[in-house]
Structure 1
Amino acid sequence: MTESSATFLLFGATGDLARRMIFPSLYNLLSDGLLPDDFLIVASGRSEMDDDAFRDDVDAALHQFLSPDRYDPQVAATFRTIICYQPVEAGNAAQFAALADRIDGRLERGLSVYLSTPPSLFAPTAQGLADAGLITPKTRIAMEKPIGKDLASSKQVNDGIGALFAEDQIFRVDHYLGKETVQNLLALRFGNLMFEPLWNATGIDHVQITVGETVGLEGRVSYYDGVGALRDMVQNHMLQILSIIAMEPPARMDPTSVRDEKVKALRSLRPMTAETVKTHSVRGQYTPGAVGGQIVTGYADELGQPSTTETFVAIKAHIDNWRWQGVPFYLRTGKRMPARQSEIMIQFKPVRHSIFGRDGHGSGLESNTLVIRLQPEEYIRLTIMSKRPGLERQVHLEEVALDVSLTAAFAGQRRRIAYERLILDLLAGDATLFVRRDEVEAQWAFIDSIIDGWKEANMKPAPYSSGNWGPSSAIALIERDGASWHD
C-alpha cells in the first residue's frame, strides 16, 4: 500500500455535494483518527472569501448535515484548523500560482485532488494544476460523474485527463460503490459457498435492479433536462451494480483483478437496435400526481416548457456470455416514484420437480428470491419454502424470509457515508472501488446503442402519473416474460 496523501485539494468546495457529503465525510474521518498526521484540506471555489469565512460555512454545513450525536465542538474546532480556502477559476494562471503557494513544501507527502465540478472544467483544471507544478507521481485526481454525455465526449474527457495523469493516478467516482451493501455483494458472492455454484443461468431465472426516487427536479433543472434517467442513473450507478452481480470471480481482491472482471461483463452487454428498443426498453416522464400524500406537479410544469427528456427508464438487458446466456437483467429507475428505494432482486429458478403436489392440488411451491436492499434500509433477505405447522397429512408450504438486517447485525457500528470509504481509499491510492476508463467506455457503448435506437425509432417518453412505478408499458416489459417487478 502506498503512503496516504497528506493534502486534499477540493475544487467545487462551495457546492452542494461538498457541503452535504464531502466535508461531513472528512470530519468523520478526522473524528475517528483515520486521516494522516499534519493533514491539510485546501478548498477551492470561484467565490472570493477568506479562510475564516469559509470555515464558518463548513461549520454550518456540519451542523446541518451531521446527526447531532456526531457533532463534537472540540473535533469541529480541530477540523477548522486543517482547512484553508483559495479562490481559483479555471484558466486563471495567477490564481493557480497562489494555490501552489498554499501547498508549497507538501507535494512530497502526496496530493489528492477532488474535482466536484462540471465535467467541462475537468481538463482545464488539470491543465492549471500542471502549469502550476502541482502534478507529480504522488498526485492523484478524483472526478465526479458524469464522465461525458456519450462515448465520444467521454473519450475527450478521459483523453484530457489522461494526457496529464497516468491511469493509476485517476480515480473516477461512483458513490454507489462506496455503499456498504454494494460492497457486500462481493462478500455475498465470493465469501459464501452456497451462492456462487447457483450464480449462473442454471440457477437464476432473472435479475432485477430498481432505483426509485420520490423527488422531482429539486433544483437540478439546468443539469437534468437533456440528460435524463438513462444517462443520469443507468449509465453509471445501475451498470456498476450489474457488473458486480455479473462479473466472474476475480483472482484476488485488488483493483486490477476486480475491475478486469467487471469490464468483461460490461463488454458482454448485448447492444440494442431500433427494433429491440421497442420491446426491451421503456421511456417515461412524470405528470402531476401525489407522492407521499403530497400533490406534486409534472416534469414539464417544473421545467416551464415541454420536453422529451425521460424521467423514467426500464430496460431488459442481456449479457452474452456462458454464465448468463438467456438470463434477463431488468433495470428500472425513475423520479416521482411511490417510494425511495434501491434494491437488487435475484430470482432463482423453480425446483425442477415438486414432490408436494397431490391429487391435482398445487404444491404452493415458490421460487427462492434473494433481495439486497441498498436504501433506505440496508438488508439481505432470502425467501425459502418451509412447512406450515399443523397435523394435516398433506404438507402445506409457505414462504419464509431469512432476513439479515445489516443495521441490526452491526448495531454497535456506525453506518458510514459512502464518501468516507471513497475519500479514504483515494488518500491511500486504492482504486478498487473506483471506475476505470475502459469500464466507463464499455458502459457508454451500451447506453449509446439505446439512445441511437430511441432516435431511429422516434421513441418518445410515455406519461406516468407521479406516485406510480412508471408507465404501464414498464409492467408489460417484464410481465411478457411471466415475471413481475418486486415492489
Structure 2
Amino acid sequence: MPAEITTLLTFFGGTGDLAKRKLYPSVYNLFKKGYLQEHFAIVGTSRADLTEEEFHEMVRTSIHDSIEDEANAEEFIAHFRYIKLDVADKDGYADMLALNNELDAKFNLKGNRIYYMSVAPRFFSTIAKLLKSEGLITENGEFNRLMIEKPFGSSYETAEQLNNDLNEVFDEDQIFRIDHYLGKEMVQNIAAVRFGNPLFDAAWNKDYIQNIQVTLSEVLGVEERAGYYDTAGALRDMVQNHTMQIIGWLAMEKPATFTDKDIRAAKNVAFNALSIYDEAGVKKNFVRGQYGENADGTQKKYLDEDDVPADSQNNTFVAGRLQFRSSRWEGVPFYIRTGKRLKTKQTRVDVVFKKGTSIFGDAAGLDNPVLSILIDPVGGIDFKINAKDTTTEFQTRTNTLHWEVSPLDVERTPEPYERMIHDAMDGNGSNFADWNGVAIAWKFVDAIQKVWDENHEEFPNYVSGSMGPKASDDLLAEDGNEWIYK
C-alpha cells in the first residue's frame, strides 16, 4: 500500500466538462490505488444550484466506468462536498472557509490545501488574491498549492502579469502549471530512454545527432472551438505549451539528480540558450498554413467554418526550425510541426543521427539511424539501424527495431491527469512548467506572431488530409533533411 496523502483538494469549475471527464475519475483512481485513504476531502465549486446529493450523483456518473466495487465508490464519494460560489465575489469565500475548517476537523487534513483552477483564465488572478485576502491559505498546514489549467496567459506580457499576481500569494514551488502532455507516458519515457541508456546519453549532442523532429498532427479541424481558436491558432494553442515542453525534455542538459529542482534547472539551461528570432529569422525559420478543402470537397476549408471570419489570417498549421546557442546543440536544428486537418493523428519525436562513414564500398551506402519515440495514438519506440542486406554482394539496408506499449501496460498506465494530480499532491514539480520555461516560450512565440500579424499570407495553402503546405518540406530540404514521418 502506498503512503497516504493527506489533503483537501478544491476544484474551481467543479461541474465543468473537464472535472467530469478527467478530474474526478483521476482522483478516484488515486483512491483505489491507496494514495488517498481516510484523510482527504474534495470540494467542488461552481455557480450552479446543486444540492450535495445532486453533486454526489454527478460524481458517481463521472466515475461510473471506473467502479469495480460499489461500496468502495460510495466510500470515495462520501469525501465530496459542494459549494455554490461566484469566484469573483469575496463574500462567498467565507462559506468556503467555514467548509474547509469543517472538513479539516472531520477528516484530520492537517491544514493541507490544493486549489485547482479549472475555470476561465480571466479568473485565475482574482481567485488567487481572494484565497489570500479571505483567509483560505493556511498557516498551520504542511503545504498550500495551486494547480492551473492552460492557457497561462495569451502573450508574454499577460503571462508575466498573471505570474506576478500569483506570486503575491504563492511561491514558485507552490504553483503547478498544468500541461497534460507532460503527463503522457511516452513523453516521460524521453528521459528514461535518453538517460537510462549510455549509448544514447553519450550520443545526445551535436557530434552524433543531425537533427531532431517533433510532430503533433491532428486529423480534426477547428470543430466548435472557432471562437477561441481564431484568436490563438496552432502557434499559441500547440507550440507555446505542448511542443515547447517536449522540446524541453529533448534539449535539456543532464540533470545532476532526477529531482524536480535539478530537472527544471537542466531544462532552463536549454531554454535560456534558445534563439529568439528577429523578423528575418522568423521568415527564414518558420512556416504557417491554413487548411483548405479536402481532395473531394467533403470537408470545409477553415475560412468556411462556423464563426471564422472570412478574411482570417489565423494559422492552423505551423512548422519551424529551432536553434540553441549551446555547445551541446550548436548547428543542430530542432524541427517542429503541428496542425489541424492533417493526414493522421500522430504525436512523435524522431531523433535523426548522423550517417557513419561506409567502409563497405559505394554499393553499401548507409542511412541515418533514427530513434523514434511514439507518443500518440499508440505508444512505442522504433530504432532504425543499418544492417546487412541478404544479397550476395555485401550491401546494407535499414532494419527497424520496434517496441509497442502492450494492452496490459496501457491498462496499468495512469492517465495524464491522474499522474499530475498525484504529483501535485506529492509536491513533485518535475512534470510541470516553471515560470522561466513559460516566459521564454512566450517570448519565442510572440516574436513569430508579431511578424505574421504584420504580413499577409494567401490562404488556404494546404489540402485537408495532407501533411501541411509544401513550404514545410522545403524548410527541411534547405538543410538537406526531410521529415521522417510522412
Check 1:230–1:27 CA distance in 2 against 1; reply closer, same or farther (3 A cut). same
Q: 1:288 to 1:75 in 2, by over 3 A?
A: farther
- Distance in 2 (CA, whole Å) between partners of 1:313 and 1:373 is 20
What amino acid is the match of 1:13? G
Q: Percent identity?
A: 36
1:357 aligns with 2:356: no
Deviation at 1:178, TM superposition (A): 0.9
Measure, in 1, the Cα distance between the counterparts of 2:201 and 2:422: 30
Secondary structure of 1:303's aligned partner: coil
The amino acid that maps onto 2:463 is S
**Partner of 1:421 in structure 2?**
419
Instruction: Find out whether 1:89 has 2:86 as its counterpart.
Output: yes
Paired residues of 2:268 and 2:436 also in contact (CA < 8 A): yes
Question: Which residue pairs with 1:125 in the alignment?
Answer: 127
Alignment CA distance shift 1:343-1:412 (3 Å): closer
Shift of 1:438: 1.3
Equivalent in the alignment of 1:75: 72
Q: Distance in 2 between matches of 1:74 and 1:366?
A: 59
Aligned length: 474
Gaps of 5+ in 2: none
SS state at 1:52 partner = helix
CA contact 1:86–1:99 (8 Å) conserved in 2: yes
Is 1:232 equivalent to 2:237 in the alignment? yes
The match for 1:110 is 112
| Contact map agreement 1:5 1:111 (CA 8 A) in 2 | no
Contact 2:6–2:110 under 8 Å retained in 1: no
1:159 aligned partner: 164
Q: Distance in 2 between matches of 1:35 and 1:219?
A: 37
Structure 1 residue 144: deviation in Å?
0.9
2:408 aligned with 1:403, yes or no?
no
Shift of 1:203: 0.3
Tell me which of the two structures has the higher relative contact order, counting C-alpha pairs closer than 8 angstroms and 6 or more residues apart.
1
Code of the residue aligned with 1:395 in structure 2: it is F
Residue 303 (structure 1) shift: 3.1
- Distance change (3 Å), C-alpha of 1:14 and 1:250: same
Q: Is the 8 A contact 1:275 1:457 kept in 2?
A: no
Q: Distance in 2 between matches of 1:271 and 1:52?
A: 53
Q: 1:168 aligns with which of 165, 173, 183?
A: 173
Rate the CA distance shift 1:34–1:380 in 2: closer, same or farther, 3 A: same
**How does 1:18-417 map onto structure 2 within 5 Å?**
18-63=19-64, 66=65, 71-105=68-102, 106=104, 108-136=110-138, 138-289=143-294, 295-304=298-307, 305-306=309-310, 307-351=312-356, 353-358=357-362, 362-389=363-390, 392=392, 394-407=393-406, 411=409, 414-417=412-415
Q: Is the 8 A contact 2:381 2:402 kept in 1?
A: yes
SS in structure 2 opposite 1:275? helix
* Alpha-carbon distance in 1 for matches of 2:242, 2:72: 33
TM-aligned CA deviation for residue 71 of structure 1: 5.0
1:137-181: CA deviations, max 9, x gaps?
A: 521101111111111100011011110111111111111111111
Q: Deviations over 1:348-392 (max 9, x none)?
A: 0000x212225xxx31421100000111111011111111335x1
Q: Secondary structure at the match of 2:30?
A: helix
Q: TM-score, normalised by structure 1?
A: 0.92
- In the superposition, relative to structure 1, how do residues 414 and 468 fare at CA in structure 2: closer, same or farther (>3 Å)? same
* TM-score, structure 2 as length reference: 0.92
Cα offset, 1:298, TM superposition: 2.2
Greater Cα shift, 299-308 or 470-479: 299-308
Superposed CA deviations along residues 48-100 of structure 1, whole A, max 9, x for unmatched, are: 2112212222232334xx47xx6543333223212111111122123211111
**RMSD of aligned Cα (Å):** 2.1
Judge conservation of contact 1:3–1:428 (CA < 8 Å) in 2: no
Maintained 8 Å contact 2:4/2:36: no
**Cα distance in 1, alignment partners of residues 323 and 462 from structure 2:** 26
Unaligned runs of 5+ in 1: none
Q: Which moved more, 1:245-254 or 1:466-475?
A: 466-475
In the alignment, residue 453 of structure 1 is paired with which amino acid? Answer: V
Amino acid at match of 2:127: T
CA distance, structure 2, for counterparts of residue 161 and residue 9 of structure 1: 17
In structure 1, distance between residues paired with 2:350 and 2:326: 21
Match of 2:135, as an amino acid?
G
